[in-house]
Chains A and B, each alone.
Chain A
């Protein structure tokens, strides 16, 4: 990942795609979000959604999986591996919107665009980068939108 000083507003990172199977939707929801429209096809058919849908939190957990696979939530740096910016604990996120239900078999493609950056007041040497993460369906329609704040080192210590 790039250091804070090397990240520009407007930088885009692509995180790839994930398909939500009915089995995975039900398994996640049985543990964390056991609402009828997430755990049972028949109950889901009778619900407002009309079919089984993934828990919104499942779509966010998958986002983390893709972020982890990409090496982090912020733009990749040219020197990654040799001199990679460290990530600190994220303060949180704002304005999460689940815009469309994600049905079984649906595929989401995730990407992030840097929208803001500021130096941390409480942690000298660190900065907060805010990014708009979006997930789009295969049809191109947006299913999820959120602004996540990440804490990252300001600059390389390698001289």
Chain B
């Protein structure tokens, strides 16, 4: 297993970072949460961020934090799908199809929320779970999975996720 520094991976997969931050921003807009600052991509740590006001609604916090999971995964699938049949089934070699795979998998690799996103959900979930909020209760194992996933990034879990969504789902559909 080759260890590649995260900032190099982020540069190579920059479309995913941009879409990830966009997804946070999008759900802030949808839930009418004030945005204070946004950085879509930069040479630093973190490579991108969205600063926004807090929310008293757990659903809003959950959506904003989990937004990239939905948006990045969907876009990954939509972009990889057109390349799947010609490449896999008809074995047509074309640089455009490989470009689509790079773009789709890059976006899919950044679908999983960061530890900071998970912590935001966890802090709010603690408060709302006491009030019997079902989504808050369900969030605990989700947060746990996010932490585990982020630990496994050193073992390329993000690449496996991107490939799984971009190529695995089409292979389940088309065989």
A and B associate? no
B residues apposed to A, CB below 8 Å: none
Which residues of A come within 8 Å of B, CB atoms?
Answer: none
